[in-house]
Amino acid sequence: MSTISVCGGGAWGSALGFAFGQNHHVLISSRRKLTLDSSLDSALSSSLIPASTSSISSTSLAVSMRQVSLAEALESEFIVIAISVAFLRQWLESAPLKAESKYLFACKGIEEGTGAFVHQIAKEFMPSQQICILSGPSFASEVKQSLPCAVAIHSDNERIATEFAQFFPPFIKPYVKDDVIGAEIAGAYKNVIAIAGGVCDGLGLGNNAKAALLARGLIEMERFGRYFGGKIDTFLGLEGAGDLFLSASSKLSRNYRVGFGLAQNKPLEQILRDLGEVAEGVKTTRAIHLIAQQNNIYTPIASEVMAILDGKACKESILKLMSR
């Protein structure tokens, strides 16, 4: 059995810890004290395991997972980073990273202000050959129930990506690929379209409108990604279409719930407060809007989501999109 460290005790970090902990030892680091009672709650759950517990039973499976300090977690050879992109740079600046460790980034978004992608931020703190990116449709709550899913691990280093792939339990099928920028853009952009999907459903515009939105959203995502060298297969695969259709159509998606709440005329601040977890799509929308303006990329859906976040009437924005 190998030892894998997970940095980040939110819903996704704890779900990954649960998955890896079925066949391996998991050390998990989190700013909050993790408790067993919330370990298998809904996707809103922060989750986890008491620091004094080395093995817990969950959904009839023995899971080896222990909460430790950040310093101890970063002693491992294999490290999974599940930190919100909004706080990723700050976290990396303060973390005692080891250059020889191998890192799997399990966060989806684009840094607001700089427009930096996850691997670009990471490369400032570690060798690029040590970096892998996790992507694909995977709700934390379903992973915690051991429901089947498929993910993709992208890296310029196939050997390290394959090593991480071997840690996943049988109910998760990992694919090893090498389109880092495409996977990052797909994972970030789908959160923006998911907000629009929530708005569409919140307004009760029906299935026809929703299908048109998702189809055009996929095209927009691919157009943006192709500008930066992403591969079309990535956007048509798990990382793009798969994650988009999941996140833009389910109330388990935080970004979908943001859009749904806005369509119900709830203030954005209240929606984000009620979520209890970060909705990456809010800041990613602003980052994509700025990047698109700087590079003259046509992104009508992202532009309208930006306008909605800034207070424009939801129905006016969606109908404007449908008339294009």
Domain that holds residue 279: 186-321
User: Over its length of 324 residues, how does the chain's per-residue pLDDT go in tens digits?
Assistant: 899 999 999 999 999 999 999 999 999 998 877 754 444 343 333 333 333 333 333 444 567 888 999 999 999 999 999 999 999 999 999 999 998 999 999 999 999 999 999 999 999 999 999 999 999 999 999 999 999 999 999 999 999 999 999 999 999 999 999 999 999 999 999 999 999 999 999 999 999 999 999 999 999 999 999 999 999 999 999 999 999 999 999 999 999 999 999 999 999 999 999 988 889 999 999 999 999 999 999 999 999 999 999 999 998 898 888 777
Active site residues: 190
- 222 and 298: one domain? yes
- What per-residue confidence (pLDDT) applies to 318? 85
- What per-residue confidence (pLDDT) applies to 62? 60
Number of domains present in the structure of the chain = 2
The arrangement of strands across the sheet holding 172-177 comes to 55-58, 61-67, 25-29, 3-7, 78-81, 102-105, 131-135, 149-155, 172-177
- What per-residue confidence (pLDDT) applies to 319? 83
Spatial neighbors of 236 by CB under 8 A, at least 6 apart, are 218, 222
- 8 and 104: one domain? yes
- 18 and 151: one domain? yes
- What per-residue confidence (pLDDT) applies to 35? 58
- What per-residue confidence (pLDDT) applies to 37? 40
- Per-residue pLDDT tens digits for 117-173: 999 999 999 999 999 999 999 999 999 999 999 999 999 999 999 999 999 999 999
- What per-residue confidence (pLDDT) applies to 324? 76
Among the candidates 152, 177, 202, a domain finishes at 177
- 316 and 198: one domain? yes
List binding-site positions: 8-13, 31-32, 87, 108, 136, 138, 140, 190, 243, 253-255, 278, 280
- 270 and 122: one domain? no
Residue count (the chain): 324
- What per-residue confidence (pLDDT) applies to 94? 95
- 167 and 204: one domain? no
Task: Give yes or no for a contact between 252 and 141, defined as CB atoms under 8 angstroms apart.
Answer: yes
- 84 and 63: one domain? yes
Among the candidates 177, 194, 209, a domain finishes at 177
List binding-site positions for substrate: 108, 254-255
Residue 100: Cβ-neighbour burial (10 angstroms; 0-12, 13-18, 19+):
exposed
- 135 and 276: one domain? no
- What per-residue confidence (pLDDT) applies to 276? 83
CATH number at 90 reads 3.40.50.720
- H runs (alpha helix) in 58-132: 70-73, 85-94, 118-122
- 155 and 199: one domain? no
List binding-site positions for sn-glycerol 3-phosphate: 108, 136, 138, 190, 243, 253-255
- 216 and 135: one domain? no
- 145 and 54: one domain? yes
**H-run or E-run covering 80:** strand 78-81
- 90 and 10: one domain? yes
Among the candidates 124, 158, 177, a domain finishes at 177
List binding-site positions for NADPH: 12, 31-32, 108, 140, 254, 278, 280
CATH number at 244 reads 1.10.1040.10
How far apart are alpha carbons 198 and 253 in whole angstroms? 9
